[in-house]
Amino acid sequence: MKLSTKLLLSFVLCAAITLAVGTLGINVVNRLAAALDSAFSNNLVSVSNTNATLNGLVAHNRGLYRLLDASNGGISTQDRDRVRQDIANELKRSQTAYATYRATPL
């Protein structure tokens, strides 16, 4: 074979190898992007639901202390009923967030 033919075949072979490596790299980057998207959409849901549960339970405990304080003071029954309703709402919200947390795969 002539030298020009050998050089041309070498460059074509190098271009084919470069194209194969580039295609493989693009596929790996796309799979990595999908894995990161899954991590941020699924795994961080659990973290935020844990945080919502904790915040709801803290608010629930604060409501209990307010209710205990109101029972000793001269607080009207209407205010105590409002505090009881707030406690029930916070507990329900915490239980909903915890149920979502338990249902989400970790």
Tens of pLDDT along 49-103?
A: 777 778 878 887 888 887 777 777 777 778 778 888 888 888 888 888 778 777 7
Report if pTM > 0.75. Answer: no
Closest CA to 90 of 74, 66, 70: 66
Rounded to 5°, the CA angle 57-62-67 comes to 125
Chain-centroid distance of CA 104 in Å reads 10
- Quote the crossing angle between the two packed helices 77-103 and 44-72, to the nearest 10°: 160
Look up tokens 């001269």; give the residue: 74
| In the predicted structure, residue 106 carries a pLDDT above the cut 70 | no
Segment 12-64, tens digit of pLDDT: 999 999 999 999 999 999 999 998 887 777 667 777 777 777 887 888 788 88
